Amino acid sequence: MGYAQIQAASEALAADNRDPLCFLDFPVQASVKTSNILGKVTDSAAAATAISTGQKTINRYLGLDQNKNRIETVAETLRNIGRKIGILTTVSLDHATPGGFYAHVDSRRNYSTIADDLFASGFDYFAGGGFHRTPDAPTHAEENGYTLIHSFEEAPATNDGRLILSSSLIFGDYGVLPAIDGGARVDWLKKATDLAISRLTNPAGFFMMVEGGRIDYFCHYNDAASFVGELLDFDKAVQSAIAFYQQHPEETLVIVTADHETGDVSFTKGDRSALLSQIISSDTCDNTLVADCVAAKTSFDQALPIFASAFGLTNLTAKETAVLKEAYYRTIQNSMPGNTSDEESGVYDPITTACINLVAARAGVVFGSGGHTAKDVPLYALGIGSEFFSGSYENTRIHDAILEAVSAYPIS
């Protein structure tokens, strides 16, 4: 989530006469540098480690320095002084960013060990998707004093004990379903944040990290409307944090930032409101609309209104229709997919790629890549200790500033 992603969402909301993102007017704003210890473009593991430990490291490493020495994370530091800890995400529970706050491994793909570190962390609350390679997660959870649930309805009536919410709303990569697809997914991250606040609030204080992880995913995928949908979903979780701050203004610090920018997003002239008209993610389109049309051998004339409605593509020009027609025929003929950006990005059928490209073109959103970039990212801070976060600095400063704020404003 870089400056451009925030601009895209902001201008889409403004074009549709909707309220702005809730964190844009935070009193402290900063610019954060994101490169890894080698001065190269970071991955999520190295970035999360830098933010959580105050030390830069090599891509793929979690909670280790470049020499593979274990580094204590800010979450572990605060756990050790009695704070309750929550880690929330819309991707898998063993993914790089959440793992950066509790795991200590030399490969972000070592999912089994990352999961072991999660269960051994003693943190009070986790929420996210599933586990990649831990089919016996319920057993591990119970052995380590956790109640494992799959929906909000299963949450214990009391706030005692440790809890893992591993959502049943998962698909593909074990993350939570895309926000843009709606249904039971609506406000999931906000609800998870509300549950975290209710469970973690206590006289000794708490720390939680809340990640809108699919913002990154859909920038990898070059699906502009879906990344905006994820950012708006994340914004609702921030609203819950602000509501808590308003109730406890003398003891609450809220920080909004990102680990890196993805997609090298820029802009041309366009109608940003087009980003709010799409109602299906690229993933779900492939798995439902495309699959159904291919199975039924649906004609282009019959398929066109289905795809146009799902992607908000009204008043198609003859040129746009021709592009979609050619992509649809390639899809029916099982031709090569249209989007092959990198390992994170999934590969879509040509008609899906044509639709998301057309939405982006209409909105004036341009992707320079399907990967991470070295662009600075913004940071917004509100509340007690926010003064420690002003300026322009390396991402390692975030860890240090959190602990400076904790030290400057001890719980009485």
**DSSP codes joined into one string, 26-37:** -SEEEEEE---T
Domain of residue 343 covers 272-363
In a shared domain, residues 402 and 262: yes
In a shared domain, residues 227 and 182: yes
In a shared domain, residues 215 and 314: no
In a shared domain, residues 93 and 229: yes
Q: How far apart are CA 195 and CA 192, in angstroms?
A: 5
DSSP H/E element including 58? none
- Looking at residue 342, its pLDDT comes to 43
Q: How far apart are CA 133 and CA 113, in angstroms?
A: 9
Q: How far apart are CA 94 and CA 194, in angstroms?
A: 22
- Looking at residue 346, its pLDDT comes to 44
In a shared domain, residues 228 and 350: no
In a shared domain, residues 182 and 308: no
- Looking at residue 74, its pLDDT comes to 98
In a shared domain, residues 246 and 382: yes
Number of domains in the chain: 2
Look up tokens 């406000």; give the residue.
187
- Looking at residue 344, its pLDDT comes to 42
In a shared domain, residues 117 and 197: yes
Q: How far apart are CA 99 and CA 92, in angstroms?
A: 10
Buried b (16+ CB within 10 A) or exposed e, 192-218: bbbbbbebbeeeebbbbbbbbbbbbbb
- Looking at residue 239, its pLDDT comes to 98
Look up tokens 């890549």; give the residue.
369
In a shared domain, residues 285 and 390: no
Q: Three-class SS of residue 144?
A: coil
Q: Three-class SS of residue 86?
A: strand
Q: Which two tokens stand for residue 22?
A: 């809730």
Residues in the chain: 412
In a shared domain, residues 37 and 139: yes
Question: 339 forms bridges with which residues in the sheet?
Answer: 348
Q: Which two tokens stand for residue 192?
A: 């998870």
Per-block average pLDDT, block size 10, for the chain (412 residues)? 98 97 98 98 98 98 98 98 97 97 97 96 98 92 96 94 96 91 96 98 97 96 97 98 97 98 97 98 95 95 98 98 96 68 60 96 96 97 98 98 97 81
CATH classification of the domain holding 246: 3.40.720.10
- Looking at residue 336, its pLDDT comes to 56
In a shared domain, residues 401 and 320: no
Query: Last residue of a domain, which of 326, 344, 363?
Result: 363
Q: How far apart are CA 21 and CA 228, in angstroms?
A: 11
Q: How far apart are CA 2 and CA 264, in angstroms?
A: 9
Secondary structure of 246-310 as H, E, C letters: HHCCCCCEEEECCCCEECCEEECCCCHHHHHCCCCCHHHHHHHHHHHHHHHCCCHHHHHHHHHHH
pTM: 0.95
- Looking at residue 335, its pLDDT comes to 58
Q: Which two tokens stand for residue 83?
A: 């704070």
In a shared domain, residues 47 and 98: yes
DSSP 95: S
> pLDDT for 8-17, tens place per residue?
999 999 999 9
Q: How far apart are CA 112 and CA 128, in angstroms?
A: 16
